[in-house]
Amino acid sequence: MARIIIIDDDELLCETLIDLLTRKGHTVSSAFTISEALEKCATEPFDVVFLDVRMPDGDGLKIIPELKKAPSDPEIIIMTGQGDPGGAEIAIKSGAWCYLEKSSITRELILPLTRALQYREEKARTIPLRVLRREQIIGSSPQLNKSLDLLAKATGSDVNVMITGETGTGKEVFASTIHNNSPRAEEGSFVVVDCAALTETLVESILFGHAKGAFTGADRQNTGLILQADKGTLFLDEIGELPLSVQKSFLRVLQERSFRPVGGSTEEKSDFRLIAATNRDLDAMTESGRFREDLLYRLRSLVIDLPPLRERGGDIFELASYFVNMLSLRYGQKRKNFSPEFIEALNSYRWPGNVRELFQAMDRVFATAIDSPTFHTTHLPEEIRIDLAKSSLKGGHHHYADGWDGYRTNGLTSWKEYKYEVEYDYLQRLLALTDNNITEACRISGLSRARMYQLISKHKHQTSSENPTE
């Protein structure tokens, strides 16, 4: 059963809740001030925190980030009396689980608590992900989650990592996230080497550095990238492009962690972690003698294969919304809506350039539809519309991406996804109509405040309801 703490200066309420929750089998304690709460949360692990907003020694909402930092990473349920609902937005944005009104709390707390505990249980099964700072990796498809699990594994060790995947699938984002989540981020840098951009004559000196006068034009000594990655991470992008001669010297560096700069007389040491990436078939290259098998073997201690975007159904919409919200914020524009056909088109297109292509396309859509509150298929770049038109002509065959529930047919999405989109669309229109006034939105929709905030939170990536007002 769960370990729960009630943080509230209302002793009577604390007692009532302790009584109620203890009868449900939970272990419950309480704190009457913020300082007492922080002290308890720092020393005891809790699964769930019930937090009052107005505390005698400060604002309860301000300590949410502090509470979330505890190793047990508790779920936080905010309790509020009437009159301070403005904090709902802050609460949800700062990672609270949900928001309950005190007047009805004894009746309403069981369901959100059960859900929060369920969520924790599921989260606990993928422990590494809990500590992972995902940074800018957007998406929640099962396919991406698999890769994220491997990413979490990579951060917990120092093994060489090989990231494969089509162009634009996020190989570099993954590599930097591994570095930033590893202990190496504290002491060393993330050094990127784009092997495709190095000419054969320069590659050795760029990697290993060179001594003064090592060759014509080397009028100064130069530290190579391998040394710059000392205590940090060396990211060899497009490793398939590394010339065979350099592959040989690099293998030696991997084995010995020491190397000799071009024209240098002494060995240098570098303690780096290696991440390599490629979108080429290294096995085929090995077979045809263009890539060293022994090097490949060493690089592959842990392989993360990033799936193409078209195979990560739900992510397309999530990524597109994220990117457009970012642009809207940057250019001070109102939130944009996507028409259902627009979403359908995004899901049907094959995205050969993956996330990079999607972002570029959304960038162009944004510029084209700058005055339109809703994006329609007509705003899509011409080549994408042409491609879609052609593929729909081929006997009505669409390149449907896998939906969240597996597949789509004839323009119909899965029920879950359809419901999600309708819900999202409704919420957007409701918030636009009421200008983010939650009271008004609740009145029109007939939804309770708790349900409304739950919905906003569920769709927050997409709606980013910036300023709900009362």
Ligand X SMILES: Nc1ncnc2c1ncn2[C@@H]1O[C@H](COP(=O)(O)OP(=O)(O)OP(=O)(O)O)[C@@H](O)[C@H]1O
Beta pairing class for 58-59 and 54-55 = antiparallel
Q: Which stretch binds ligand X (CB under 6 A): 152-160, 161-169, 197-205, 392-400?
A: 161-169
Which one, 5 or 239, has the nearer CB to Mg ion?
Answer: 239
Residue written as token pair 């992900």: 129
Structure tokens at 110: 């069981």
Residues within the interface to Mg ion (CB under 5 A): 171-172
**314 is a contact residue toward ligand X (CB under 6 A):** no
The span from the CA of 402 to the CA of 390, in Å, is 20
Contact partner at residue 356 from Mg ion, ligand X, none, CB < 5 to 8 Å by partner kind: ligand X
Residue nearest to ligand X (CB): 170
Subset of residues 8 to 67 that bind ligand X, contact rule: CB under 6 A: none
- Residue partners of 449: CB distance under 8 A and separation at least 6: 85, 88, 99, 101, 438, 442
The span from the CA of 343 to the CA of 306, in Å, is 23
The number of residues that bind ligand X (CB under 6 A) is 17
Which one, 172 or 363, has the nearer CB to Mg ion?
Answer: 172
What's the min distance (Å) between Cβ of 461 and ligand X?
11
**169 is a contact residue toward ligand X (CB under 6 A):** yes
Which one, 140 or 157, has the nearer CB to ligand X?
Answer: 140
What's the min distance (Å) between Cβ of 170 and Mg ion?
8
The span from the CA of 68 to the CA of 256, in Å, is 42
Q: Shortest CA distance to 441 belongs to which of 470, 410, 463?
A: 470
CB 200 within 8 A of CB 387: no
**167 is a contact residue toward ligand X (CB under 6 A):** yes
Pure H helices in 48-125:
64-69, 87-93, 105-108, 110-125
Q: Could you say which of 189, 249, 279, 328 contacts ligand X (CB under 6 A)?
A: 279
Q: Shortest CA distance to 34 belongs to which of 57, 3, 64?
A: 57
Which one, 14 or 178, has the nearer CB to ligand X?
Answer: 178
Structure tokens at 203: 């590659």
What's the min distance (Å) between Cβ of 138 and ligand X?
4
Which one, 171 or 273, has the nearer CB to Mg ion?
Answer: 171
The span from the CA of 282 to the CA of 466, in Å, is 46
Subset of residues 343 to 372 that bind ligand X, contact rule: CB under 6 A: 355-356, 359
CB 326 within 8 A of CB 461: no
Q: Shortest CA distance to 192 belongs to which of 170, 176, 205?
A: 176
What's the min distance (Å) between Cβ of 200 and ligand X?
20
Convert residues 126-145 into a mask of x (bound to ligand X by CB under 6 A) and - (unbound). Answer: ----------xxxx------
Which one, 298 or 356, has the nearer CB to ligand X?
Answer: 356
- List residues binding ligand X (CB under 6 A): 136-139, 165, 167-173, 279, 319, 355-356, 359
